Amino acid sequence: MIGNLLILYQAPALGVQLLIDGILIGAVFALAAYGMALVWGVTNIINVAQGEFVMLGGFVAVFCAEHGLPLLLAVPIAAAVLYALGWALFRLVIVHLIGRDMFISVLATFGIAIVLQQVMARLFGAGDRIVDSGLASWFLFDGLVGIAQVKVLVFACCLVLGAGLTVFLQRSRAGQAIRAVAQEPRAAAVLGIETDKVYGLTFALNAAICGAAGALAAMAYPIHPYGGLSYTIRSFMIVVVAGLGNLAGVVWAAAGLGVAESFAGFVLGPQYQIAFVFGLLVVVLVLRNRMLRRQRQYLR
Amino acid sequence: MSALLELTHVTKRFGGVVANDAISLSVPEGAIVGLIGPNGSGKTTLFNAITGAFPIDHGSVRFRRREISKLLTKHIAREGLIRTYQQPRIYGRMTVQANMLASPSLREASFISVFGRDTPAQRAQAVELLDFVGLADKRGEDAGDLSFGQQKLLELAMALMNEPKMLLLDEPTAGINPVLIESLLDRLRAANKERGLTLLIIEHNMPVIMGLAEHIYCLAHGRLLAGGSPEAVRADPKVVDAYLGAA
Amino acid sequence: MTASAPGTRTLNPARLTRIGAVLAIGVVTPLLFPAYQSQATELLLFIVFALAWDLVGGQMGYTSFGNVLFVGVGMYVAAIVQVGLYYDVGLYNEAKGGGTQFVFDTSQFLIGLGLGLIAAAVAAGLTAFLLGPLVLGIRGHYFAICTLGLGIAAGQLAAGIPWIGGGSGMLTPNPPASLGDVGLLLYYLALSLALACTATFAWLLSTRFGLVLNAIRDDEDKAEAMGLPTRRAKIAAWVIAAAFLGVAGALYGNQVRFIDPTETAFAGATIGVWMILMALLGGKGTLLGPIVGAILFQITKELFWTYLLGWQRVALGVLIIVVAVFFPEGIVGYARARSRRSEETP
């Protein structure tokens, strides 16, 4: 580990590489976190299967690529497939979790995650998959720093999707209904908004966002059936650090997480990258709670 | 008589709102003191401030001559300062009896004593207190299944079971069957006389608090408006204004 | 049922008969049904897992999704002690515990196992003692996800340590042939552990400690405002549960022989969530619930493995969802509600 730190010190170009890579993947994290915050803020449910939705989106892209479809088409297809899945899951399971103990919703969505993991493993095998985009890389600093074009494409698409989602929530009637229910569910119901439909829409929308994010991610980063939980944890961490409803915070936190992971993966070694993510979660929660305890409060 | 509880310029802000504005009052040992004021005047916030539910912005709270404003609620409770709540807080999934048996303080004992059983004396005391509040036949029921009034009575019984030095009661008669109120007040007076239990009571029921308290403070808009004997406070035009003007 | 009313803890004849019957069944089962011996051992260990989860999750309300941390710590520490007393652990793992190189005779195996179990309890308890002050200040679903993170991080960390076998895992010592049926020995050890666990928890819940735990579950802030020693009680409960989880983990490791860091030791998505399911299925917050739940779960799991092979994990996932959504009070909870309703009808 010390050896790796020394390398970093001696080759600053490497640091730039890690920084750029971290920011680029951060956009995917931000999108997934945005979706989780949306569901959490509106339905008060933490979707532990969030990462599995992302992975599924990626596998849809893999499937599309295997059947010769143009790559960017995979994104809306994945979004549509996941939207349908999200709606189905909502009707079957999630609708029963509204207003109940958080433990039950964490456990139930964990169950969903397990089911999805196993289904993906059976359908696609347990190995890593990635979609070959066929795109090259740009090089900076005499070839010391390489920026994969597909990663930039993914980054840009994620930003566009995130912006689109924000506009949808601000301007469209459905979006306004969602925001109304998030703030005051009872008032919204009295005003004639069918809260159940809004909850369902929110959950399905979140699934679609994850699907799109996953389809994009699969073009640049390897995915596998059991890779979902780390995405869920990343989203959760970002939301806890940024706070519900703080979109700018989500973007910053996601970028920060991407960069931190990138450096950790190099300094600690790739086999410890996942351990770093989960360990960071614990650190973030302990510290955030400590800060609140000074005001005699705790994370709610 | 020395002050058991002494507040000096206690101030608490929530965002832009000053819920408690430089409040100074004192409760002599062995006294029964009332705290009145229209809704939103900061009475419950003051209770929260005293018991350490949040850190105060300014001022001092002294209990038994010790500064407690920096202490955690748990430690303040161990000092012998217990409170009840406007919305009764009891242990909903435990039986009424278990609620009572969880209430004695472990003040002097070490942690290891928590692995012992309740003594016959404690069990007898629980029975006696439950009897007094009329919940004896509900002993085996889950506390969460009781009505609002019954839960308030249970909460009071639990507080008495704790044998504190001082009890802060937040609207103890709200939701209680009027038939029971008088015997409740008798019990409070008895605990005050015989056990030296000091009381600070938030009340909206004027006849009750005027008959019970020796000294009354009135809050309005977060500030201390008046303090004195029940007759003086009742006649104070500022107090009358505060209540009528709050409408 | 919450903390039992004091005074009902006497050992009357009816109670003694029940305890005797359970003991008899326990002792005699592997002899009568040798084909089911390993499942029975697994069941006994699951009972311990479920009870230990319930002490902190059901009785105290701190629903941990990462108790596998203690299972895995116990499993690895025991294996390390069992091997390390006689051989170099690093070399042993490089050779993947090769049978001809690393031989354990009867006394070595037994001493190793005995000391290993003790070390497992101590290590797991110590882990809980050190992590408790940090993590038990976090409440509710944040605690749930935090512990989930802990459990999985531990597995990933273990997979990166070559000394204990890294990602390829570690083998527990080969039991010598001269020992006879090791499975039987493990069974009786598991039985003793399950009985000890049940007895310990029954005692704990009959003391004021049980009341404090339930009070923390029902309203922690109120418990603090009444002066109850919440912080120390929380840590104590976690340490006690961890110790039992560690020993059960050590026995489990010896039963399956091959310890994979993420699939066996720190198996968050299997054992970690199964123990929650068991406690919920039987009825969390009761002493009998986790035991009943473990039995039901084991039977269901065997049925799934036999008849739904290939889809058994999916079926278990569906079971988790169904129980969480439709049956969270569990069997004991359901029975209580029914008896209460029948009491109310005139």
Q: Hey, which chains touch B, using 3+ CB pairs under 8 Å? A: A, C
> How many Å apart are CA C249 and CA C43, to the nearest integer?
13
pLDDT in tens, A54-99: 999 999 999 998 888 888 889 999 999 999 999 999 999 999 999 8
Check whether B182 has a pLDDT greater than 60.
Answer: yes
pLDDT over 90, % of chain C: 65
> How many Å apart are CA C221 and CA C217, to the nearest integer?
10
Which residues in chain A have Cβ-Cβ distances shorter than 8 Å to C278? none
Residue C90 neighbours by CB under 8 Å, 6+ apart: C162, C163
> How many Å apart are CA A19 and CA C198, to the nearest integer?
53
pLDDT over 70, % of chain C: 94
Q: Do A97 and C328 contact (CB within 8 A), yes or no?
A: no
pLDDT in tens, C288-335: 999 999 999 999 999 999 998 888 999 999 999 999 999 999 998 888
Give the distance, in angstroms, between the CA of residue C310 and the centroid of all CA atoms in the same chain. Answer: 26
Check whether B126 has a pLDDT greater than 80.
Answer: yes
Query: Where in chain A are the domains?
Result: 2-293
C5 pLDDT band, cuts 50/70/90, is: very low
> How many Å apart are CA B92 and CA B99, to the nearest integer?
9
Mean pLDDT of C142-162: 93
- Three-state SS annotation for C27-40: HHHHHHCHHHHHHH
Burial label for A172, CB within 10 Å (0-12, 13-18, 19+), is exposed
Specify the fold of B3-80+164-245.
Rossmann fold (3.40.50)
Where do the H-state alpha helices sit in B103-147? Answer: 120-133
Tell me which residue of A214, A211, A232, A235 sits closest to A86, measured CA to CA. Answer: A211
> How many Å apart are CA A255 and CA B66, to the nearest integer?
49
Give chain B's length. 247
Q: Collapsing DSSP states into helix, strand and coil, what is residue B199?
A: strand
Q: What is the pLDDT of residue B213?
A: 93
Which residues in chain C have Cβ-Cβ distances shorter than 8 Å to B94? 2-3, 211, 214-215, 218
C6 pLDDT band, cuts 50/70/90, is: very low
Residue A137 contacts B where some CB pair is shorter than 8 Å: no
CB count within 10 Å of CB C105 equals: 11
State both tokens at C130.
């050190």
> How many Å apart are CA C13 and CA C67, to the nearest integer?
37
Burial label for C66, CB within 10 Å (0-12, 13-18, 19+), is buried
Mean pLDDT of B227-233: 91
Q: What is the pLDDT of residue B247?
A: 43
Residue A108 contacts C where some CB pair is shorter than 8 Å: yes
Q: What is the pLDDT of residue C87?
A: 86
Q: Do B67 and B61 contact (CB within 8 A), yes or no?
A: yes
Nearest CA in chain C to B143: C218
Place of tokens 């909502």: A90
* CB pair distance less than 8 Å for C224 and B106: no
CA neighbours closer than 13 Å in the CB half-sphere of residue A79: 16
> How many Å apart are CA B126 and CA B118, to the nearest integer?
10
Mutation target among C65, C142, C216, C266 for the A interface, most CBs of A within 10 A? C142
What are the structural domains of chain C?
A: 37-344 (1.10.3470)
- Minimum distance, in Å, between the CA of residue A167 and any CA atom of chain C: 31
Residue A287 contacts C where some CB pair is shorter than 8 Å: no
Enter the DSSP assignment of B166: E
Check whether C28 has a pLDDT greater than 90.
Answer: no
> How many Å apart are CA C324 and CA A256, to the nearest integer?
35
Mutation target among B72, B84, B91 for the C interface, most CBs of C within 10 A? B91
Radius of gyration of chain C, Cα coordinates, nearest whole angstrom: 20
Identity of the residue in C5, C7, C230 whose CB atom sits nearest the CB atom of B74: C230
Residue C217 vs residues A169, A277, B138, C119, C211: alpha-carbon distances, Å: 38, 30, 21, 31, 10
pLDDT in tens, A5-24: 888 778 888 888 899 999 99
pLDDT in tens, A100-146: 989 999 999 999 999 999 999 999 988 888 887 777 777 777 777 88
Check whether C346 has a pLDDT greater than 80.
Answer: no
Residue A150 vs residues A55, A132, A141, A231, C307: alpha-carbon distances, Å: 18, 10, 20, 20, 45
- Minimum distance, in Å, between the CA of residue A81 and any CA atom of chain C: 20
Tell me which residue of A171, A182, A178 sits closest to A201, measured CA to CA. Answer: A178
Phi, psi of C227 (to 5 degrees): 85, 15
Enter the DSSP assignment of B142: B
Q: What would the DSSP string read from start to end of C239-276?
A: HHHHHHHHHHHHHHHHHH-EE-IIIIIT-IIIIIHHHH
Residue B122 contacts C where some CB pair is shorter than 8 Å: no
Nearest CA in chain B to A293: B54
pLDDT in tens, A222-272: 999 999 999 999 999 999 999 887 888 999 999 999 999 999 999 988 888
- Minimum distance, in Å, between the CA of residue C187 and any CA atom of chain A: 30
Check whether A297 has a pLDDT greater than 80.
Answer: yes
Q: Do A41 and A245 contact (CB within 8 A), yes or no?
A: yes
- N- to C-terminal Cα separation, chain C: 24
* CB pair distance less than 8 Å for B102 and C228: yes
Query: Where in chain B are the domains?
Result: 3-80+164-245, 89-158
Residue B199 neighbours by CB under 8 Å, 6+ apart: B31, B32, B33, B166, B167, B169, B188, B192
C345 pLDDT band, cuts 50/70/90, is: low
Q: Do B105 and C226 contact (CB within 8 A), yes or no?
A: yes
Specify the fold of A2-293.
ABC transporter involved in vitamin B12 uptake, BtuC (1.10.3470)
Tell me which residue of C178, C188, C171 sits closest to C37, measured CA to CA. Answer: C188
Nearest CA in chain C to B85: C222
C30 pLDDT band, cuts 50/70/90, is: confident
Tell me which residue of C174, C191, C169, C154 sits closest to C82, measured CA to CA. Answer: C174
pLDDT over 70, % of chain B: 98
Q: Do C239 and C16 contact (CB within 8 A), yes or no?
A: no
B7 pLDDT band, cuts 50/70/90, is: very high
Assembly ipTM: 0.92
Residue A297 contacts B where some CB pair is shorter than 8 Å: yes
B240 pLDDT band, cuts 50/70/90, is: confident
